[in-house]
Amino acid sequence: MLSYLHAFHAGNFADIQKHSVLVLALRMMQAKPSAIACFDTHAGSAGYDLAGDRAMKTGEANAGVQKVWRCREQLQSDDWQAIIDELAAGNGRCGDLERYPGSPRWFSRYLREQDSLTAFELHPAEGETLSQWASGRSGTRVCREDGLQGLLRHLPPRQPRLLVLIDPSYEVKTEYEDVAETLKRAWQKCRHGVFLIWYPILAGRPHERLKGAISEGTVRKVLCQEIMLNQPPERGMVGSGMLVVNPPWGFDARLASMMEAASDSECLGITATTDWLVQE
Ligand SMILES: C[S@@+](CC[C@H](N)C(=O)[O-])C[C@H]1O[C@@H](n2cnc3c(N)ncnc32)[C@H](O)[C@@H]1O
């Protein structure tokens, strides 16, 4: 039984990091014209209402994307501008944000004619909303099945390049191990693929199981970025992490610079570290 609903958390500080990584990877990969097969293994419903009851109940977006939006004048780089422009496109430029795009929408913004997006979602209601959003969008298909198993079935893709976002809710205890095992098997099928893996940082540090399994395995060239809240809450996430397998050349410096620009207390109030978990 799936109980997680991303509408309660959309636009929080972890989404900012995750979607910054995704957009930067897409933009850097698209410097070359060859086609990219994109996969979103845990897609959610593509768009979220920040003024709705679910978002208001947790207020997570207020400490995340709304702060980024208010301090957008200080985020003066092309890499941040790509994020700001997309937020503005869904909202207008004045006042607080009312809508926040989910990962399929961020992918879709950058999808070219030669690229494709396969989005997996298991939750019945989220899957239905996602299917409605995707219907009629060329190059986009929705699979309402397990995203980790589905990904493996679709690899290797027919396009020459691969970009995968793995963004589970980690509701299931074995998910850290399952993600590590899926990465190992996916990488064996497509060694040049770019894999983006999100994980929460909780007080008990269960994400160390994921990082440990990957660092002891065969996958090479894994960048790790962690952002830690300077004023963590008593319960819940104290930070957020992203693993990036096979990042484009120069990706690490650009991502580090993005998070540094957003780190002060007026903005996200975070401390970011960007380092290699596994070297080449
Ligand atoms: C963290 S949310 C995804 C957020 C989305 N990637 C974004 O960035 O906007 C995780 C999603 O995975 C879905 N989910 C949970 N288990 C799944 C599974 N085994 N396969 C596919 N989707 C799953 C949940 O219903 C939820 O919508």
User: Which residue out of 167, 178, 252, 275 is catalytically annotated?
Assistant: 167
Cβ-based neighbour number of residue 169 at 10 Å = 16
Atom of ligand 1 nearest to the CA of 41: 21
In this prediction, residue 94 carries a pLDDT of: 77
Per-residue model confidence as pLDDT tens digits over 98-138? 999 999 999 999 999 999 999 999 999 999 999 999 999 99
Q: What's the whole-number average pLDDT of the chain?
A: 96
Q: Is the Cβ atom of 9 under 6 angstroms away from ligand 1?
A: no
Question: Rounded distance, CA 181 to CA 166, Å?
Answer: 12
In which band, very low, low, confident or very high, does the pLDDT at 2 lie, cut at 50, 70 and 90? confident
Question: Rounded distance, CA 100 to CA 11, Å?
Answer: 6
Residue with tokens 């298909």: 141
Structural domains in the chain, sorted by start: 6-278 (3.40.50.150)
Q: Is the Cβ atom of 169 under 6 angstroms away from ligand 1?
A: yes
Q: Is the Cβ atom of 43 under 6 angstroms away from ligand 1?
A: yes
Q: Is the Cβ atom of 128 under 6 angstroms away from ligand 1?
A: no
Contact 23, 82 (CB under 8 A): yes
Question: Rounded distance, CA 244 to CA 248, Å?
Answer: 10
Greater confidence, 65 or 1?
65
Q: Is the Cβ atom of 130 under 6 angstroms away from ligand 1?
A: no
Using the mean position of ligand 1's atoms as its centre, give its distance from the Cα of residue 41 in Å: 7
Contact 166, 148 (CB under 8 A): yes
For the cut 90, the answer to whether the pLDDT of residue 166 exceeds it is: yes
For the cut 90, the answer to whether the pLDDT of residue 190 exceeds it is: yes
Nearest one of 161, 160, 162, 152 to 183, comparing CA atoms: 152
In this prediction, residue 95 carries a pLDDT of: 86
Atom of ligand 1 nearest to the CA of 101: 9
In this prediction, residue 63 carries a pLDDT of: 93
Question: Rounded distance, CA 239 to CA 269, Å?
Answer: 11
For the cut 80, the answer to whether the pLDDT of residue 92 exceeds it is: no
Contact 198, 18 (CB under 8 A): yes
Greater confidence, 280 or 202?
202
For the cut 90, the answer to whether the pLDDT of residue 93 exceeds it is: no
Probe target for ligand 1 pocket from 39, 169, 197, with the most ligand atoms within 8 Å of CB:
169
Amino acid making up residue 160? P
The neighbouring-strand residues paired with 48 are 100
Atom of ligand 1 nearest to the CA of 18: 8
In which band, very low, low, confident or very high, does the pLDDT at 84 lie, cut at 50, 70 and 90? very high
Atom of ligand 1 nearest to the CA of 6: 2
Q: How does DSSP assign the chain, residue by residue?
A: -----GGGTTTSHHHHHHHHHHHHHHHHHTTS-S-EEEEESS-TTSEEETTSHHHHHH-GGGGTHHHHHHTGGG--SHHHHHHHHHHHHHH-SSSS--EEE-HHHHHHHH--TT-EEEEE--SHHHHHHHHHHHTT-TTEEEE-S-HHHHHHHHPSPSSSEEEEEE-----STTHHHHHHHHHHHHHHH-TT-EEEEEEEE-TT-THHHHHHHHHTSS---EEEEEEEESS--SSS-SEEEEEEESPPTTHHHHHHHHHHHT-STTTT-EEEEEEEEE--
Q: Is the Cβ atom of 127 under 6 angstroms away from ligand 1?
A: no
Contact 22, 108 (CB under 8 A): no
Global pTM exceeds 0.95: yes
Q: Is the Cβ atom of 98 under 6 angstroms away from ligand 1?
A: no
Residue with tokens 């959003």: 133
Question: Rounded distance, CA 163 to CA 246, Å?
Answer: 10
Per-residue model confidence as pLDDT tens digits over 242-275? 999 999 999 999 999 999 999 998 899 999 999 9
Mean pLDDT of 163-192: 97
Per-residue model confidence as pLDDT tens digits over 200-239? 999 999 999 999 999 999 999 999 999 999 999 999 999 9
In this prediction, residue 1 carries a pLDDT of: 64
Nearest CA to ligand 1 atom 25: 123
Nearest CA to ligand 1 atom 12: 42
Q: Is the Cβ atom of 178 under 6 angstroms away from ligand 1?
A: no
Question: Rounded distance, CA 6 to CA 278, Å?
Answer: 30
In this prediction, residue 6 carries a pLDDT of: 94
Per-residue model confidence as pLDDT tens digits over 28-81? 999 999 999 999 999 999 999 999 999 999 999 999 999 999 999 999 899 999
Is 167 annotated in the active site? Answer: yes
Tokens representing 133? 């959003």
Nearest CA to ligand 1 atom 3: 44
In this prediction, residue 266 carries a pLDDT of: 87
